[in-house]
Amino acid sequence: MEKQLQTIIQPLLAWYATHRRELPWRVDKEPYHVWVSEIMLQQTRVEAVKKYYVRFIEALPDVQSLSEVPEDRLLKLWEGLGYYSRARNLKKAAEMIMRDFGGQFPDTFALLVKLPGIGNYTAGAIASICFDEKVTAVDGNVLRVVARVTGNRENVLLPEVKKKTETQLLQILPDNAGTFNEAMMELGETVCLPGDAARCGECPLSGDCVAYRERLTSELPVRVKLMNRRQERRTVFLLTAADGSIAVEKRPDRGLLAGMYQFPNTEGFHTEEEIRKEVESRGMRVLEVIYIKDAKHAFTHLDWLMKGYRVRIDNPSGDFLWVTPEELSGQYAIPTAIKPFVPSLT
């Protein structure tokens, strides 16, 4: 297996030297830039991240500014990327760097992996790209490339398979480990794509690839999810007052979408009459209830199935924070889950 992987090094590096994309975080090897980009790229594709990365770095150009940013401002800068715990962990890690490392970015895998929100992959990426440490950086793209090249039929979603892949790659890592790691990620992101989208005719490794040779590209890697998804029904209320203000509420500081602002919502699907009673029980007089649309949002282990209603009232209640449309778009981080209802406010 290791001998088989050894053959990919030179063609991969030659391909990367010619085909690497120019990305905002590749302008330099500043660890802060690489770190922020890698955290953003978790669960999100490169093209979607670019504009968020530029905006984030302009607002928070270094570790110190990130460590000091108020949470509401941080979440607003992160809005649209989802998985907001990533942003909170960025801030926690920045605070730790300022407190425990005197503001200097940790320069080894062993230290990096101790920071909040940084696992083996991110620590390996930063350590190898920025500090030339000879460590691996194995993400989903790299797992896919290795599984196809070697013809491995093991379930890549299992931790032990990822660990084995890290060990195999560590044995063949060249001295320029950071460049090799970036090349593997780039190949998986742009050429060795999932399923039938793979562009094998453009791949520098096709001559050494078991999946290509045996026509197994659409079957590899094997990904067998072991979890059952839960579905939750919710009714979303777009409460608008006569003065044009909109009701929002802040979610608890812990749990799903912690600390985010949302439109009021409750579990279950409710009739218009039930909605009217619920709103009036909070001391507001309902003028009109209008069904808007259905929407669905998939979290990691949970699906929200939502029905949205616009509820016009004449007297804002103190139970909620009432904001203008301009404040809603400019100051408050609204979860992607309920953003499908935002256009209905205009």
- 88/116 Cα distance (integer angstroms): 9
Known catalytic membership, residue 38: yes
- 232/304 Cα distance (integer angstroms): 5
Helices 31-41 and 120-131, packing angle to 10 deg: 150
End-to-end CA distance of the chain, in Å?
A: 59
Out of 38, 133, 182, 186, the active site residue is 38
12-16, long-range: CB < 8 A, 24+ apart: 12/180, 12/183, 12/184, 12/187, 12/204, 12/205, 13/174, 13/176, 13/179, 13/180, 13/183, 14/204, 15/183, 15/187, 15/204, 16/179, 16/182, 16/183, 16/186, 16/187
Supply φ then ψ for residue 231, to 5 degrees.
-110, 140
Q: Which residue has the tokens 């890690």?
A: 93
Cα 170 from chain centre:
26
Residues acting as catalytic residues: 38
